[in-house]
Structure 1
Amino acid sequence: MKLERDLIEGVLETLRTLPDAHIEPAQSASGRRDKGYDARIDLHIGDRSICLLVEAKRAVYPRDVRELVWQIRRYMEPGAPDASAGQRVPLVVAEAISPGAKELLREEQVGYFDSGGSFFLPARGVYVYIEKPPPKTLAKSLRSLFSGRRAQVLHALLMHHHKWVNVKELAEQSHASPATVSQVMTELERFDWLDMQGRGPSKERLLREPGALLDAWSKQVAANRPPALRRYYVPATKPLDLPGRLGRALEQHDVAYAITHEAAAQRYSPYLSSVSQVRCRLTPGRAADEALGTLDARVVNEGANLAVIEVKSSGELLFREKLDDVWLASPILVYLDLLRSEGRAKEMAEYLRHERIGF
């Protein structure tokens, strides 16, 4: 109830900032189940009178929107209570509304307000659209979903998006626990990106919307700080030959690695005429230092032709592929890395996605 009151007060404060607006006190619909909604706000703006019928929720995801729209249509029918109140506009208020849910609500011409201050009001003669950063609760949830072991589960799903998988299979593929996999599945179901079949331990999922998942991951990556790079100059080596030399040196010292960024994308789907720097994910330690030493690699601040990204776990090297005797990060990780790079890297990322990833 407190959350509902706080959200409605947030709506009222936003409405008061509109020019020539007058708002009558919100009326709660508590105890009146025939109403179908939680509160009513009468808004007068200019010569327009609008009755906002408020539906309060804690959080709204795409899978919730269908039920919400069905419920809203029931109390928006001509014979429903308040049908004589003039222009009526449904308004969903929630602590957090996911981007996908907002898009669906806009398509259905249903208003919304979240605790971050985003507001959409589609009324005849009065149209308000305010988009603000997601509230901290949703932002934190998304950061958690696209990091650590959970990100490994998403990575596995994207790599096997055309296959039905159960929790056990996905846990083995992603090197994550079954509990972590189950948590990720619950989150993705809220976004309505999965198809499901079966029950219990044999229940299987299919990633129906791989493109939407990758888009969401891309946005999260763009908002995060890029990983730290250790920059080196390897003398007497042409950029085209450096991945092979580096790979042989690392393998001789039993160091797990994966070439990424432009050097990897160029091997998956050639796009640039040349690549001046090689970026590599590797497991740090004495063995890695010794391998770099055999190449006479020198730490530099400028003029680097090799950049090293130290991985915290083997999970960051999942689904690497060996092409021309060189281990490359998976196309998914290469794509995400390119989005955080500079120059023409973003163009290269989109080309890689179109030509190699395919969704």
Structure 2
Amino acid sequence: MIKSRQYEQQLIDEFLKNLEELPKVRAKLEVEQPLPADAKIDLKVVGKDVTLLVEAKRAGYPRDVQQAIWQLRRAKEALPSHEEIVLVMIAEYLSPGAKAQLRAEHIGYFESGGSMYLPAPGAYCYVEKPSAKPFERAVRSLYSGRRAQVIHTLLVHHERWFGVHELAEVSMVSPATVSEVCSELERQDWVSLQGKGPRKKRQLSQPTALLDAWAKEVKERPAPTMDRYYVPGVKADGLMQRVGEQFGKSNIEYAVSHEFAAQRYAPFLSSISQIRLRMIKSTKSQAVISEIGARSVVEGSNLGIIETDAGELLFRNEIDTIWLASPVQVYLDLMHGEGRSIEMADHLRKERIGF
């Protein structure tokens, strides 16, 4: 019936169950041997016969999809030409790029968790659900901690070719972390390769897709904890000047982000009322916050501070004596903003980031 691997059997059983839940659809697994694919399913859709040829994988990325499409099309050639045939790839996990590629080729897919695309005559189906948790966690870990520093570097220097050790040095991480991230990006088909072995270099070839994926992940997780303060009798520009001077005197490392930084990079709003920044906590930081006249508040704040580490201050820029987070970091922070922050993020991306 199918290959002996257990995960394939489970996937096909799950796929059959989901098919049978569709209205006016009956599904039957073909048991004859040999089969041209991992499975052959006979569908009856509103009285019409449709054959599904199925290729099963544990996980699917763009490069896996290319191979699966080739295998499915080859399998289709072995069947009578008069049959109504729909090709389908099923997997425990399919990357967003893999799904998009399959839809573009009019190839159906099913993913554990319930996502399904079925371009069958009379039974067109498109359902998007969260990916299986182990794979979802693996994807999320790519955009957090040390791994995120590698992603950040590649986005900021997306036209540059990097060897592993060079990328590790610029990203302030270990070569092992770089290798992990690059392996995942290769599976997503988001990097170009040059050379082999120790001379192997990579360049980010799909910066738009990578930034889209990171932004999507940021939207789905809670916003970082922010301490809120109110400094009376001063507008945003004056407050920023005061913060910059006091933090500079005390050698406190920081980077302004969110709306204020976006406005400096690519003016969009007529005025900004709040300042939000990342700061590396030190023995002096709380005293300096008091010196600028800030008092802790629950609401009505005009100063927000996120405690962070040096990795999140990568690629900050000093403009008019004020340290701003990188445009990429500002864009991501705006995903958790308020009011017109998403519009501001889109404007910043278009005017300053460029992809």
Q: Normalising by structure 1, what TM-score?
A: 0.95
Counterpart of 2:27 (choices 5, 23, 26) is 23
The amino acid of 1:51's aligned partner reads T
Question: What corresponds to 1:304 in structure 2?
Answer: 301
User: Against the structure 1 CA distance between its residues 85 and 18, is the aligned structure 2 distance closer, same or farther, given a 3 Å change threshold?
Assistant: farther
Matched position secondary structure for 2:271: coil
* Contact 2:54-2:72 within 8 A present in 1 as well: no
* Displacement after TM superposition at 1:302 (Å): 2.2
Cα deviation, 1:57-103, whole Å, max 9, x if unaligned, reads 000011212222122221222xx1x3367212111111101111111
Cα deviation, 1:193-244, whole Å, max 9, x if unaligned, reads 1110001111111111101100000000000100111111122322111112
151-160 or 119-128, which deviates more: 119-128
The amino acid of 2:20's aligned partner reads R
Cα deviation, 1:94-144, whole Å, max 9, x if unaligned, reads 110111111110111111111111111112233122211122122111111
Matched position secondary structure for 1:27: coil
Counterpart of 1:150 (choices 141, 147, 162) is 147
In structure 1, distance between residues paired with 2:275 and 2:149: 24
* Contact 2:46-2:122 within 8 A present in 1 as well: no
Matched position secondary structure for 1:231: strand
Counterpart of 1:230 (choices 227, 234, 240) is 227
* Contact 2:257-2:278 within 8 A present in 1 as well: yes
* Contact 1:96-1:137 within 8 A present in 2 as well: no
In structure 2, distance between residues paired with 1:133 and 1:332: 26
In structure 1, distance between residues paired with 2:121 and 2:147: 44
Counterpart of 2:275 (choices 273, 278, 282) is 278
User: Against the structure 1 CA distance between its residues 117 and 26, is the aligned structure 2 distance closer, same or farther, given a 3 Å change threshold?
Assistant: farther
Counterpart of 1:14 (choices 11, 15, 18) is 18
- Is 1:343 the counterpart of 2:347 in the alignment? no
Question: What corresponds to 2:66 in structure 1?
Answer: 66
In structure 2, distance between residues paired with 1:326 and 1:121: 53
In structure 2, distance between residues paired with 1:38 and 1:28: 12
Percent of paired sites with the same residue: 50
Q: Which runs of 5+ in 2 are unaligned?
A: none
Question: What corresponds to 2:192 in structure 1?
Answer: 195
Q: Which runs of 5+ in 1 are unaligned?
A: none
In structure 2, distance between residues paired with 1:297 and 1:19: 61
- Is 1:3 the counterpart of 2:7 in the alignment? yes
* Contact 2:29-2:39 within 8 A present in 1 as well: no
In structure 1, distance between residues paired with 2:159 and 2:29: 53
Question: What corresponds to 1:214 in structure 2?
Answer: 211
Matched position secondary structure for 1:280: strand
**Within-5 A mapping of 1:1-359:** 1-27=5-31, 32=34, 35-77=35-77, 80=78, 82-83=79-80, 86-311=83-308, 313-359=309-355
* Displacement after TM superposition at 1:25 (Å): 3.4
* Contact 1:36-1:71 within 8 A present in 2 as well: no
In structure 2, distance between residues paired with 1:314 and 1:5: 47
Write out the 4+ residue segments of structure 1 that deviate beyond 4 Å after TM superposition.
none
The amino acid of 1:8's aligned partner reads I
In structure 2, distance between residues paired with 1:192 and 1:36: 28
In structure 2, distance between residues paired with 1:15 and 1:136: 22
Q: Normalising by structure 2, what TM-score?
A: 0.96
* Contact 1:339-1:346 within 8 A present in 2 as well: yes
* Contact 1:51-1:85 within 8 A present in 2 as well: no
* Contact 2:273-2:302 within 8 A present in 1 as well: yes
In structure 1, distance between residues paired with 2:353 and 2:18: 43
User: Against the structure 1 CA distance between its residues 43 and 262, is the aligned structure 2 distance closer, same or farther, given a 3 Å change threshold?
Assistant: same
In the alignment of these two chains, the number of paired residues is 351
* Contact 1:233-1:304 within 8 A present in 2 as well: yes
In structure 1, distance between residues paired with 2:38 and 2:110: 14
The amino acid of 1:246's aligned partner reads V
The amino acid of 2:354's aligned partner reads G
